[in-house]
Amino acid sequence: MKGLQHPKNDVSLNASGNESIHDVIAKVDVSRRQFVQGGVGAGALAAAGGLTLGGIVQAVEAAPVPAVAGFAGIGFESVPASRAPVLDKVTVPTGYSANLLVAWGDPIMAGAAAFAADASQDAAAQMKQYGMHTDGMHFFPLQGIGGKPLSDRGILCANNEYTDEEVLFTDGQVGAGYTLAKTRKSQAAHGVSIAELRRVAGQWQVVKNSPFGRRITANTFCKISGPAAGHALLQTRQFTITDAATSATGATTDGKSAYGTINNCAHGITPWGTYLTCEENWNGNFGSRTPLPAATTEAGKLFSRYGVTAGGFGYRWHETDDRFDLGQNPNETNLFGWVVEIDPMNPRAVPIKRTALGRFKHESAQYVVDRANHLAFYMGDDERNEYIYKFVCAGKFNPGNRAANRDLLDSGTLYAAKFNADGSGTWLPLTPGSIGLDGKALREHANFAGADDAEVQAKILVKTRMAADAMGATMMDRPEWTGARPRIGGYSEIEVYCTLTNNNRRGGSTANAADGSTPAASARPPVDAANPRANNVYGHIIRWRETGQSVRAATFAWDIFAQAGDSVTAKLPAAQYQGNIVDDPAGSADYGAPDGLWFDPFGRLWVQTDQVGDGSGDWVNIGANMMVCADPNTGMTRRFLTGPNRCEVTGVTMTPDGKTMFVGVQHPGEDATAANPQQYSAWPASQWTTEADGVTPLPMGRPRSGVVVITKDDGGLIGS
């Protein structure tokens, strides 16, 4: 499909129509395999002017990718892959520097204690420190004279996706009994961290005692707004939460409030300057020590469709905190799975769960404002065989009045995507009158039956997955981040990309049932045009363009931007391999499991990966997780960063001048035990000896998720 719907994207590096160096390298990639296997490949080499294979690679390596149609070019040379034994450090290209900005446990608020490397600190300390397992994030610049956004001072909002209890507690999760104190610390390490950053004498640091410093955790009071607010499915037992207990008050909530946000994976922002945190694997934080609702009940059906189980993901919160005991509080689960809006500039603002954007395992939310000031958010539901969505606001964005946009996220239309085999696509509205696969309107379906259309819409939003099932949306290979290509340099299309990270349940013959009865991740759909690989180990990146350059379009055109993989072992047929990191002299040129995806304001596409990260098994040639930079016109890709052992690289943002980049490193040394937390990684202490201030010794003792700050040594634009 590549190029058919996107002729402008097939811009060659050689406008003459002759074979471009990109084409030649594509051939060499193929011939390299043949060369190894049978000594063929002289033709391709001759086409490149008689250079040796290494010569071609070096020539391309030295050549900056030129700027074309809405793309500023890539000017750095790839760092080598970090193969087993994976380096326990972050690597960046020659000419760049990386430093630690902030790590799990660092103070970000007034009165916060310094991190204790033996993990002996309690929930109260964690409440004022940077949370665990950093993920999506955004830098909101503070404004200087005349409202000019600053590039040396701003607010970093970052998600803390989940906790690793073996590293979070000195004796791990199972040692010496499990207590509410442990639950509270784990809850305090979840959520969102908000920190003021400042560059002082060239050195980026977290501002101590900043009034902007804030933690939002699993116990922070939140409002619920939008069409589902107040519905009976969101009403649950009311609790009083203290350090000593979670106590039921005997009352029932009004369905318009909730405590906490959890499993905050990736994120979004709004054009009015608020942060969106997206609740992904919230089901895993629940468990049950009392009987679950019967499978035939409304709650039981929801549990099945959203993967809520008695065991959860192994957290033990429910043993000490009744709120997370499924049997006692089935509706508590319905308070999670939303997009939550946070005002980073007002530390007292209550986070708001915006139900109009639907309830699923939200990965991220990318906004686009079109020329008519209509506004949409593009979102993925990260589970095998789930869907891609867009939410179109009913009201227009008002660029001149921030307050006028305050409730834009409360009314509009949610759509699920259907990718047709011919490269066209349809946005399927999830509204009471929408006609499903069975020829009936959603309001006629048992799952959404209500007293009136307002109630039907509320149920559609709480049961978003079931509504998309009924409409026949396309099951995807785990939609992760969405990113919109900037419309700059004469480039005017509304083009949105989405990483499809992998899917080991693709290639069978079972679909998500239209009646919403298929348990989460249990279908095994056949391959289709948009998800063309059975057992998709390495993942791919899909993109679409809105018809008429309007976010309100009912249709779109799509193609596959990249199919990741390992070209060295040629596990994949060439036709299924479109990854093309072209400038690694060692020969491996690949990445897999794309997850983080972000366009910088200058048109460069950054992709971050999430696989095992130790260079084992399917990743022997690819090595550590990484961040690559791609040219959206050609797909040409270079490796910008590799991460420490067993980490995931996730979260990327920049200062407005493009000269400072922040990149997240999550769960270095994953799967170590409490007895030996540094079994696989001691990062960041394995890479640096002091904190970002260059003075304070960096604590040793356990691996810590954190954010690195990257600058170019010549002070230039990152990626240029």
Name the residue among 376, 365, 419, 362 with its Cα closest to residue 560: 419
Q: Which does 583 bind (CB under 5 to 8 A by kind): Ca ion, ligand FEO, none?
A: none
Shortest separation between residue 280's beta carbon and ligand FEO, angstroms? 5
Sign of CA dihedral 542, 1, 622, 503: positive
Shortest separation between residue 502's beta carbon and ligand FEO, angstroms? 11
Shortest separation between residue 310's beta carbon and Ca ion, angstroms? 24
Q: Are 121 and 113 in contact (CB under 8 A)?
A: yes
Give the bridge partners for 708, in sequence order: 100, 663
Shortest separation between residue 463's beta carbon and Ca ion, angstroms? 24
Shortest separation between residue 267's beta carbon and ligand FEO, angstroms? 11
**Six-digit token string for 484:** 């919109």
Q: Which does 469 bind (CB under 5 to 8 A by kind): ligand FEO, Ca ion, none?
A: none
Q: Closer to Ca ion by CB, 164 or 480: give it.
A: 480
The sheet that has 660-666: what strands, in order across it?
Answer: 96-103, 706-712, 660-666, 648-654
Strand (E) or helix (H) holding 221: strand 221-225
Shortest separation between residue 593's beta carbon and ligand FEO, angstroms? 10
Q: Which does 279 bind (CB under 5 to 8 A by kind): Ca ion, ligand FEO, none?
A: none
User: 202: burial class by Cβ within 10 Å (0-12, 13-18, 19+)?
Assistant: exposed
Q: Closer to Ca ion by CB, 226 or 268: give it.
A: 268
Q: Closer to Ca ion by CB, 595 or 691: give it.
A: 595
Shortest separation between residue 204's beta carbon and ligand FEO, angstroms? 26
Q: Closer to ligand FEO by CB, 480 or 559: give it.
A: 480
Q: Closer to Ca ion by CB, 477 or 480: give it.
A: 480
Q: Which does 546 bind (CB under 5 to 8 A by kind): Ca ion, ligand FEO, none?
A: none
Spatial distance between the Cα atoms of 613 and 608, rounded to a whole number of angstroms? 12
Q: Closer to ligand FEO by CB, 343 or 610: give it.
A: 610
List C-alpha distances in Å: 109 to 114, 125, 208, 536.
11, 10, 7, 43
Q: Which does 493 bind (CB under 5 to 8 A by kind): Ca ion, ligand FEO, none?
A: none
Q: Which does 383 bind (CB under 5 to 8 A by kind): Ca ion, ligand FEO, none?
A: none
Shortest separation between residue 625's beta carbon and ligand FEO, angstroms? 13
Cα angle, residue 392 at apex, residues 388 and 396 outer, rounded to 5°: 155
Q: Which does 477 bind (CB under 5 to 8 A by kind): Ca ion, ligand FEO, none?
A: none
Q: Closer to Ca ion by CB, 265 or 392: give it.
A: 265
Spatial distance between the Cα atoms of 58 and 52, rounded to a whole number of angstroms? 10
Shortest separation between residue 362's beta carbon and ligand FEO, angstroms? 9
Q: Which does 325 bind (CB under 5 to 8 A by kind): ligand FEO, Ca ion, none?
A: none
Q: Closer to ligand FEO by CB, 279 or 691: give it.
A: 279
Q: Closer to Ca ion by CB, 335 or 597: give it.
A: 597
Give the bridge partners for 495, in sequence order: 545
Q: Closer to ligand FEO by CB, 379 or 562: give it.
A: 379
Radius of gyration of the chain (CA): 25
Q: Closer to ligand FEO by CB, 499 or 642: give it.
A: 499
Rounded to 10 degrees, the C-alpha dihedral 638/641/644/647 comes to -80
Spatial distance between the Cα atoms of 666 and 595, rounded to a whole number of angstroms? 13
Residue 673, amino acid = T
Q: Which does 280 bind (CB under 5 to 8 A by kind): Ca ion, ligand FEO, none?
A: ligand FEO
Q: Which residue has the tokens 């204790």?
A: 116
Shortest separation between residue 284's beta carbon and ligand FEO, angstroms? 11
Residues that bind ligand FEO (CB under 6 A): 161, 265, 280, 363, 382, 480, 595
Spatial distance between the Cα atoms of 96 and 99, rounded to a whole number of angstroms? 10
Q: Closer to Ca ion by CB, 590 or 648: give it.
A: 648
Q: Closer to ligand FEO by CB, 57 or 266: give it.
A: 266
Shortest separation between residue 280's beta carbon and Ca ion, angstroms? 7
Residues that bind Ca ion (CB under 5 A): 265, 480, 595, 610, 648
Q: Which does 370 bind (CB under 5 to 8 A by kind): ligand FEO, Ca ion, none?
A: none
**Six-digit token string for 622:** 């690819």
Shortest separation between residue 632's beta carbon and Ca ion, angstroms? 21
Name the residue among 352, 335, 214 with its Cα closest to residue 263: 335
What is the three-class DSSP state of 626? strand
- Residue-wise burial string across 367-392, b where 16 or more C-beta atoms lie within 10 A, e elsewhere: bbbbeeebbbbbbbbbbbbbbbbbbb
Shortest separation between residue 711's beta carbon and Ca ion, angstroms? 25
DSSP β-ladder status, 555-563 and 605-609: unpaired
Give the bridge partners for 223, in sequence order: 257, 352
Q: Which does 648 bind (CB under 5 to 8 A by kind): ligand FEO, Ca ion, none?
A: Ca ion
Q: Closer to Ca ion by CB, 493 or 648: give it.
A: 648
DSSP β-ladder status, 221-225 and 352-354: parallel
Shortest separation between residue 161's beta carbon and Ca ion, angstroms? 8
Q: Which does 161 bind (CB under 5 to 8 A by kind): ligand FEO, Ca ion, none?
A: ligand FEO
Q: Are 636 and 630 in contact (CB under 8 A)?
A: yes
Strand (E) or helix (H) holding 599: strand 594-599
Shortest separation between residue 654's beta carbon and Ca ion, angstroms? 19
Q: Closer to ligand FEO by CB, 160 or 711: give it.
A: 160
The sheet that has 637-642: what strands, in order across it?
Answer: 594-599, 605-609, 626-630, 637-642
Please enumerate, as own/partner, the contacts of 287-290 that have beta carbons within 8 Å and a separation of 24 or more: 287/311, 287/312, 287/315, 287/316, 287/317, 287/318, 287/319, 287/324, 287/325, 287/326, 288/318, 288/325, 288/326, 288/327, 289/318, 289/319, 289/325, 289/327, 290/325, 290/326, 290/327, 290/328
CB atoms within 10 A of CB 148: 10
Shortest separation between residue 282's beta carbon and ligand FEO, angstroms? 11
Q: Closer to Ca ion by CB, 580 or 611: give it.
A: 611
